[in-house]
Structure 1
Amino acid sequence: MLDAAPIRTNWTREEAEKIYNQPFMDLLFRAQTVHREHFDPNQVQMSKLLSIKTGGCPEDCAYCSQSARNGAKLSAAKLIEVERVISEAKKAKEAGATRYCMGAAWRSPKDRDMDALEAMINGVKDLGMETCMTLGMLEEDQVFRLRDAGLDYYNHNIDTSERYYKEIITTRTFADRIETLNRVREAGIKVCAGGIVGMGEQQMDRIDMLLALATLDEHPDSVPVNQLIPIADTPLADVEKLDPIEFVRTIALARILMPKSHVRLSAGRTEMTDEMQAMCFFAGANSIFVGDTLLTADNPEEDNDKALFNRLGITAMAAGCDGSR
């Protein structure tokens, strides 16, 4: 086997655009070649996501049903009990998940919530699962507390390109997102960062979003690529649906620019055919969320995923295995 191409953080827009727009079959071939250099192409990592605090978020993210500002009619709830989180994590492990992700609809956590968050991390890790949280922006002391509790991953998506960001969110800046990512990485927590496509952005915004991640000092360990799920009463409820081929191109570019990252096929899978998902796996996606709910949105039933995996000859990565070669 030829030596794998070096990991780069100095990609240019010209290079990324040329990769993205090459003939589709050539793009898929290159993405699959890169994927095989670094991962077993027939293994997919399985995560489970639980909303630990739903609704009432003060941010105005145009895609989100949990925003208190954008018109969606989802009532606010309190942070759920630690015992319930551990119970749900046990079920997720039994269903094959190796990573448990906990998400809270906050701009940032309050200090009064930190003890409970630390207890959730400890409890899930005691089950032998990896832990991930997404809690919004973090102060330095909060990052250290999460790290010392044993948090493995922190998710903080940049959502879209810096150019298009202000069309989607006005209550915080693109730079705020990058600052949080840097703070998390510097503390030694693994970074999970991706975005959402199909929000009315231009092709160049999808390229620039991935380029922003691929030119960080270190690539994110996980890169979730979400397809917008239009939510009634939100500003993006009636946005035009993205061409599936464009979505697959986005997955392929993520794989080529960030060869050693896990690329997660995230929200929007309920609207994808089995064939489209298979094409995404071929293009380099090697992680999914399992379970019938993704925060407040629908996700494919576990039986559907098992049936698809069986048809494709794909197996789930074992706990403690990252699937890398």
Structure 2
Amino acid sequence: MTEVRYDWTKEEIAEIYHTPLLDLVYRAATVHRENKDYAEVQISSLISIKTGGCSEDCAYCPQAARYNTGVDVHAMMPKDEVIAAAEKAKAGGASRLCMGAAWREVRDNRDFDKVIDMVKAVNSLDMEVCCTLGMLTESQAQRLADAGLYAYNHNLDTSEEDYKRIITTRTYDDRLNTLKNVRKAKITVCSGGIVGLGETVEDRISMLKTLSNLPKHPESVPINALVPIAGTPLADQPRVPIWDMVRMIATARIIMPRSIVRLSAGRTEMSTVEQAFCFMAGASSIFAGEKLLTTPNPSFDTDMAMFELLGLTPRKAFKNGRPNEVKEMETAG
């Protein structure tokens, strides 16, 4: 079993990242086989429960109120629609439902009460429930935990050094404080980043260092390829080379051997062969369903055909225990 470390240096991570590609994929695949069922992939579905009108200025996001991206602002989705979406996702093979709201931070109001009710309802369907709602206080995290929330997504996006170029309306420490609050409430952490923002390789390595040096590695590490959206400041960014994604996934797999590394946004631009390389490199989760919040995504049927071709099987919900009973990753299967 691979040793889990929390003291990776930038130099060590850079050496891994720059390993000749086939050697890197082989090493990552070896680590993957030592620590997890490499043919098992978690399928998550992501829905937007409150769309658009966000006060943040994230340079990649079509939901920021200050950008004209054609995204209509929608109020909170009714609970029955959320349950219907969850049931459809479960029927398609998903074991986790992630609910996203375009908020800067959670506020203690009626909308948050509605989210709590949604968490309870989806949890009762025997699905893992994840939320991404912006910044979170310790007491708010505890309310979500008490409702049965399994995971909370709060991505670092890029390195601390690069962060102000992408977002000015909050700080990197704001991000890390939310992750601390999620941990205190014993909710599992989902945190990764985006490749293709115009960041340097050094920024990617710095972000991976931050994630791998947390007191406990995130249980889920999403690696997103930027989907450039017209109207955002990053609309003209070139598509990320697939090999950059493979390097990021492989490096994350090696330095965080027991985390689930999620091949996230950008899959619609990838061929089956390119996605197969990502699975070889250690990806063990995907988002499925037609949309990721507001951007296109492959359909469940397309993904199931790919799973059959590659010999992959969907991971069952709660494999590492129920909410607040999640086994330590050091002993997780």
Interval containing the TM-score (normalised by the shorter chain)? over 0.9
- Give ranges in structure 1 of 5+ residues lacking alignment: none
Question: In the alignment, is residue 101 of structure 1 matched against residue 90 of structure 2?
Answer: no
- Decide whether the 8 Å contact of 1:61 with 1:70 is kept in 2: no
Q: Distance in 1 between matches of 2:120 and 2:68?
A: 36
What does residue 82 of structure 1 align with?
79
Report the alpha carbon displacement of residue 304 of structure 1 after superposing the two structures with TM.
Answer: 1.2
Q: Distance in 2 between matches of 1:266 and 1:161?
A: 18
> What letter matches 1:299 in structure 2?
N
What does residue 269 of structure 1 align with?
267
What does residue 293 of structure 1 align with?
291
Report the alpha carbon displacement of residue 75 of structure 1 after superposing the two structures with TM.
Answer: 2.6
Q: Distance in 1 between matches of 2:27 and 2:311?
A: 21
- Decide whether the 8 Å contact of 2:138 with 2:184 is kept in 1: no
Q: Distance in 2 between matches of 1:255 and 1:203?
A: 17
What does residue 23 of structure 1 align with?
20
Q: Distance in 1 between matches of 2:68 and 2:57?
A: 10
> What letter matches 1:264 in structure 2?
R
What does residue 319 of structure 1 align with?
317
Report the alpha carbon displacement of residue 88 of structure 1 after superposing the two structures with TM.
Answer: 1.0
For 1:146-157, list aligned pairs within 5 A: 146-157=144-155
- Decide whether the 8 Å contact of 1:13 with 1:211 is kept in 2: yes
Report the alpha carbon displacement of residue 265 of structure 1 after superposing the two structures with TM.
Answer: 0.4
Report the alpha carbon displacement of residue 208 of structure 1 after superposing the two structures with TM.
Answer: 1.2
> What letter matches 1:28 in structure 2?
V
What does residue 240 of structure 1 align with?
238
- Decide whether the 8 Å contact of 1:46 with 1:96 is kept in 2: yes
Q: Distance in 2 between matches of 1:52 and 1:296?
A: 11
> What letter matches 2:38 in structure 1?
P
Report the alpha carbon displacement of residue 301 of structure 1 after superposing the two structures with TM.
Answer: 1.4
- Decide whether the 8 Å contact of 1:47 with 1:99 is kept in 2: yes
Report the alpha carbon displacement of residue 22 of structure 1 after superposing the two structures with TM.
Answer: 1.0
> What letter matches 1:40 in structure 2?
D
What does residue 66 of structure 1 align with?
63
> What letter matches 1:127 in structure 2?
L
Question: In the alignment, is residue 5 of structure 1 matched against residue 7 of structure 2?
Answer: no
Q: Distance in 1 between matches of 2:220 and 2:38?
A: 16
Query: Cα deviation per residue 1:224-282 (whole Å; 9 max; x = unaligned)?
Result: 11000000111001012222111110000110111100000000000011111000000
Equivalent residues, number: 322
Match of residue 39, structure 2, among 39, 42, 50 = 42
- Decide whether the 8 Å contact of 1:51 with 1:296 is kept in 2: yes
Report the alpha carbon displacement of residue 318 of structure 1 after superposing the two structures with TM.
Answer: 2.0
Question: In the alignment, is residue 119 of structure 1 matched against residue 117 of structure 2?
Answer: yes
Q: Distance in 2 between matches of 1:81 and 1:261?
A: 33
> What letter matches 2:10 in structure 1?
R
- Decide whether the 8 Å contact of 1:62 with 1:70 is kept in 2: no
What does residue 224 of structure 2 align with?
226
Local SS of the residue matching 1:133: strand
Question: In the alignment, is residue 54 of structure 1 matched against residue 51 of structure 2?
Answer: yes
Match of residue 165, structure 1, among 163, 166, 170 = 163
What does residue 29 of structure 2 align with?
32
Report the alpha carbon displacement of residue 114 of structure 1 after superposing the two structures with TM.
Answer: 2.1
Q: Distance in 2 between matches of 1:125 and 1:186?
A: 21
- Decide whether the 8 Å contact of 2:46 with 2:99 is kept in 1: yes
Q: Distance in 1 between matches of 2:258 and 2:179?
A: 18
More moved, 234-243 vs 218-227: 234-243
Q: Distance in 2 between matches of 1:313 and 1:133?
A: 30
Local SS of the residue matching 1:100: strand
Q: Distance in 2 between matches of 1:310 and 1:5?
A: 29
| TM-align CA RMSD | 1.2
Question: In the alignment, is residue 91 of structure 1 matched against residue 83 of structure 2?
Answer: no
Q: Distance in 1 between matches of 2:87 and 2:44?
A: 13
Q: Distance in 1 between matches of 2:72 and 2:304?
A: 33
Normalised to the residue count of structure 1, the TM-score between the two structures is: 0.97
Local SS of the residue matching 1:91: helix
Report the alpha carbon displacement of residue 12 of structure 1 after superposing the two structures with TM.
Answer: 0.3
- Decide whether the 8 Å contact of 2:129 with 2:151 is kept in 1: yes
Question: In the alignment, is residue 195 of structure 1 matched against residue 193 of structure 2?
Answer: yes
Q: Distance in 1 between matches of 2:89 and 2:5?
A: 35
Query: Cα deviation per residue 1:40-86 (whole Å; 9 max; x = unaligned)?
Result: 11110111111000000000000000001233232321111111111
Local SS of the residue matching 2:94: coil
Local SS of the residue matching 1:278: helix
What does residue 323 of structure 2 align with?
none
- Decide whether the 8 Å contact of 1:221 with 1:260 is kept in 2: yes
Report the alpha carbon displacement of residue 306 of structure 1 after superposing the two structures with TM.
Answer: 1.1
